[in-house]
Amino acid sequence: MLTKEEMPACPVATTVQLIGSKWKLLILRNLMQRPWRFNELLRDLDGISRKVLTDSLRSLEADGLITRTVYPEIPPHTEYAMSDIGNAMRPIIKAMEQWGTAYKAYLDRHAS
C-alpha cells in the first residue's frame, strides 16, 4: 500500500491508480455480489490469467479494498470479499454500470 504522500495529488488520479485496470474493476464488480473463491473468479473472469488474478487480488488487498479470509479446513479454502472502504466504491461501480447500459442504448439508437 502506498502512503498518502506517494499517492497522486488529484483524487481522481488516486481512484484510477487503485482500480483503473480492467481486471480490478471486474473483480470488484463480482465481489459486490458476494464473497468469491479464487477459482470461482478465475472461471468467471473470461480471459484472465492465474498470475494477473493473483497480482490483482494481492494489490486490492494491500490497498485495503478487499479482504482475504483463509478457512483452515481440509482442504483449506480462501475467500475474497469487499472491505469496508471497498464497499464505499459501490456507487462508483454502479454508476459505471448504468452509464455502460445507457451508452449501449445510445449505440442501438445511432446504429447505421
* Domain 4-105 classification at class level: mainly alpha
pLDDT value of position 21: 86
Instruction: For residue range 58-71, list pLDDT tens digits in order.
Output: 999 999 999 999 99
Instruction: For residue range 6-32, list pLDDT tens digits in order.
Output: 888 888 888 888 888 889 999 999 999
Written as one string, the DSSP assignment of 70-102 is: EE--SS-EEEEEE-HHHHTTHHHHHHHHHHHHH
Instruction: For residue range 84-110, list pLDDT tens digits in order.
Output: 999 999 999 999 999 999 999 999 999
112 has pLDDT over 80? no
Number of other CB atoms surrounding residue 57 within 10 Å: 21
pLDDT value of position 75: 86
| Mean local confidence (pLDDT), 69-92 | 94
Comparing C-alpha atoms, which of 112, 99, 108, 92 is closest to residue 18? 92
Q: Domain spans of the chain?
A: 4-105
pLDDT value of position 82: 98
Comparing C-alpha atoms, which of 18, 17, 29, 22 is closest to residue 80? 29
Q: What is the DSSP letter of 33?
A: T
Asked whether 8 and 14 are in contact (CB, 8 A), the reply is yes
pLDDT value of position 25: 94
pLDDT value of position 95: 93
